[in-house]
């Protein structure tokens, strides 16, 4: 029988409460999908609402679904008589809970709530400024000559990104679809062009310079977009109109106020801006008499992806678009990966989704078959197939604990906090802490200043092979560590659901923690055990990834 704390603190759940939150999030999957229909019926039903954060089901884009999960947790614990007091950080959330449970003690962290509201208002101003700057830089970087080169041409579009993690020493390193492109036959390569989505707005012009000597060819959306496209995209969410006053309910909670609130704070959302630019880019291609035969989209069913699919289906209906889901993540807890009936109705999903292995395929096929699915080789993980000759003679360094961070900044901040807490509790003469940060993540000031924490710029595989213990959150690197026979500790954020596909793995070699105390405990358990040899688990490798072969390139196109 699990023990529950009598106090439920939204910002600091107990480990048992966090585990329960994870279970409820999985149970809420179908309810979330139904909720999207309610949202849509409360709007003007303009198809572009699907590009907004409140329809994303993405915890990073909008905390709406996090709050809904939290309300579900309250409902469960109240019915089980497991809580006496709730501490929240939102005025609206307190009001909703009190309406549902008038006799429940609900306390508000006033300083946190005021700070949160202030930051949300400031966020609107900063996001608006960001969109203006990005629009100006893109407009000033366009080339009419590059645009003319594509008139009356038939082309294939391959999505990529201009972002911090794809540029090293002024060289562009394509990590998404390049490996698939290299397997295309010559006839397809000849007509294929990478179209970059600008995620590093202040480096748009320098990125255009960096790719001049690249062997892959590019087509730049900014060459085709007009001033009106930027203005429409900047003001898209406000222009869609208000959400109607009719009540939106979720499991006996009336949540209309927080839905409207999150929609308001998402005005000038950068992903929505980019999504509509993608849509307009395809419209401008058609106006330019450029015929798009096929699109290979790096696909996560995020806001940006919806603009690409919707644009293709609107302006190049007879063409094909395939969504390359070339990664492994927590497909149990991350709901937005799965297309919905509403997304199908609004024509914003690909004709086919390319997945990495049979286990993932089974999960998607449990979902209603709204599109086609296919298994393809992993573009980003091919290097691991070549590690075998290098690692048979190596043994782990018993003293190295490797922390690996994902691109999720909130998760990274939580891991930084835990590292800071254990920093003064471990013997640095016996243990070495190494950190492998995601290129897009910000490193905390404490980590930068700490004398005994080494921030690595080495290869991720080299770091994993040299480590005794690998610690991480929602990162694919933990899967690669499992394949390389490592002891793994998964870190779960104690104010949010835990996102990692290894949650249900062998507890002997994959442990979980939600605070610094349990982290130290698990580190000690591993260090006392017999050291594990470096080993490439071929069976596990082949269950996760497929190696590229010459005859497999046809999986990526029709």
In the chain, how many domains are there?
A: 1
pLDDT greater than 80 at residue 295: yes
Provide the pairing of β-strand 171-172 with 167-168. antiparallel
The residue segments making up the domain with residue 528 are: 388-535
Distance of CA 133 to the CA centre of its chain: 24
Reported pTM: 0.91
Q: What is the mean pLDDT of the chain?
A: 89
- Cα-Cα end-to-end distance for the chain: 53
pLDDT tens digits, residue range 334-366? 899 999 999 999 999 999 999 999 999 998 987
CB 437, CB 455: distance < 8 Å: yes
Within 10 Å of residue 247's Cβ, how many Cβ atoms? 10
How far apart (Å, rounded) are the C-alpha atoms in residues 91 and 285? 47
Q: pLDDT (tens digit, 9 = 90+) per residue, 154-200?
A: 999 999 999 877 777 778 888 888 888 888 888 889 999 999 999 98
CB 195 within 8 A of CB 219: yes
Confidence at 380, pLDDT banded by 50, 70, 90: confident
In a domain, 193, yes or no: no
**What percentage of residues in the chain have a pLDDT greater than 90?**
57
Backbone angles phi, psi at 360, to 5 degrees: -70, -40
Residue 412 sits in a domain whose CATH number is 3.40.50.2000
- The answer to whether residue 160 sits within a structural domain is no
For residue 451, what pLDDT band results from cuts at 50, 70 and 90? confident
Residue 8 backbone phi and psi in degrees, to 5: -110, 105
The confidence score (pLDDT) of residue 399 equals 84
The answer as to whether 431 is a domain residue is yes
In a domain, 251, yes or no: no
Secondary structure class of 545 (helix, strand, coil): coil
Q: 444 lies in a domain? A: yes
Distance (Å, rounded) from C-alpha 438 to C-alpha 338?
Answer: 25
Distances (CA, A) of 365 to 346, 358, 360, 373: 21, 10, 9, 8
Whether residue 449 lies inside any domain: the answer is yes
415 assigned to some structural domain: yes
Identify the weakest region by mean pLDDT among 124-138, 245-259, 396-410, 461-475: 396-410
Please check whether residue 458 lies inside any domain of the structure. yes
pLDDT score at 507: 75
């Amino acid at each position: 029988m699990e023990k529950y704390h009598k106090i439920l603190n939204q910002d600091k759940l107990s480990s048992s409460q966090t585990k329960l939150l994870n279970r409820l999030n999985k149970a809420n999957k179908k309810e979330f999908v139904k909720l999207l229909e309610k949202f849509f019926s409360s709007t003007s039903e303009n198809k572009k609402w699907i590009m907004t954060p409140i329809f994303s089901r993405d915890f990073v884009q909008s905390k709406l679904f996090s709050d809904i999960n939290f309300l579900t947790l309250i409902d469960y614990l109240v019915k089980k008589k497991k809580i006496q007091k709730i501490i929240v950080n939102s005025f609206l959330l307190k009001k909703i809970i009190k309406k549902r449970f008038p006799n429940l003690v609900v306390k508000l962290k006033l300083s946190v709530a005021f700070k949160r509201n202030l930051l949300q208002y400031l966020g609107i101003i900063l996001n608006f400024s960001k969109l203006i700057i990005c629009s100006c830089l893109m407009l000033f970087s366009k080339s009419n000559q590059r645009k003319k080169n594509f008139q009356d041409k038939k082309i294939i579009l391959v999505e990529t990104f201009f972002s911090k993690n794809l540029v090293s020493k002024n060289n562009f390193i394509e990590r998404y679809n390049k490996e698939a492109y290299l397997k295309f036959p010559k006839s397809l390569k000849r007509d294929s062009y990478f179209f970059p989505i600008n995620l590093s707005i202040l480096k748009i012009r320098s990125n255009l310079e960096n790719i001049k000597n690249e062997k892959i060819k590019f087509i730049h959306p900014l060459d085709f977009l007009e001033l009106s496209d930027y203005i429409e995209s900047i003001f898209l969410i406000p222009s869609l109109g208000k959400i109607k006053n009719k009540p939106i309910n979720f499991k006996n909670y009336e949540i209309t106020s927080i839905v409207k609130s999150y929609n308001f704070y998402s005005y000038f959302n950068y992903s929505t801006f980019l999504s509509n630019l993608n849509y307009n880019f395809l419209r401008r291609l058609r106006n330019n008499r450029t015929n798009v035969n096929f699109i290979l989209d790096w696909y996560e069913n995020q806001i940006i992806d919806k603009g690409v699919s919707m644009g293709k289906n609107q302006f190049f209906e007879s063409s094909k678009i395939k969504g390359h889901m070339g990664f492994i993540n927590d497909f149990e807890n991350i709901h937005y990966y799965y297309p919905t009936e509403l997304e199908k109705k609004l024509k914003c999903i690909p004709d086919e989704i390319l997945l990495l292995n049979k286990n993932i395929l089974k999960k998607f096929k449990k979902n209603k078959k709204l599109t086609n699915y296919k298994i393809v080789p992993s573009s980003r993980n091919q290097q691991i197939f070549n590690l075998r000759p290098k690692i048979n003679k190596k043994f782990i360094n018993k003293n190295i604990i490797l922390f690996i961070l994902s691109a999720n900044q909130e998760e990274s901040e939580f891991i930084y906090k835990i590292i800071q807490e254990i920093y003064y509790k471990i013997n640095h003469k016996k243990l070495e802490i190494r950190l492998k940060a995601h290129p897009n993540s910000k490193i905390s000031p404490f980590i930068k200043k700490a004398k005994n924490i080494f921030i690595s710029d080495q290869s991720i595989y080299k770091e994993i092979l040299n480590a005794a213990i690998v610690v991480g959150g929602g990162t694919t690197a933990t899967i690669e560590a499992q394949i390389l026979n490592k002891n793994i500790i998964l870190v779960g954020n104690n104010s949010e659901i835990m996102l990692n596909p290894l949650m249900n793995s062998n507890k002997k070699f994959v442990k979980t923690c939600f605070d610094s105390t349990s982290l130290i405990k698990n580190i000690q358990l591993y260090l006392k055990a017999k050291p594990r040899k470096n080993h490439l688990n071929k069976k596990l490798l082949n269950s996760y990834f497929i190696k590229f072969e010459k005859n497999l390139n046809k999986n990526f196109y029709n």
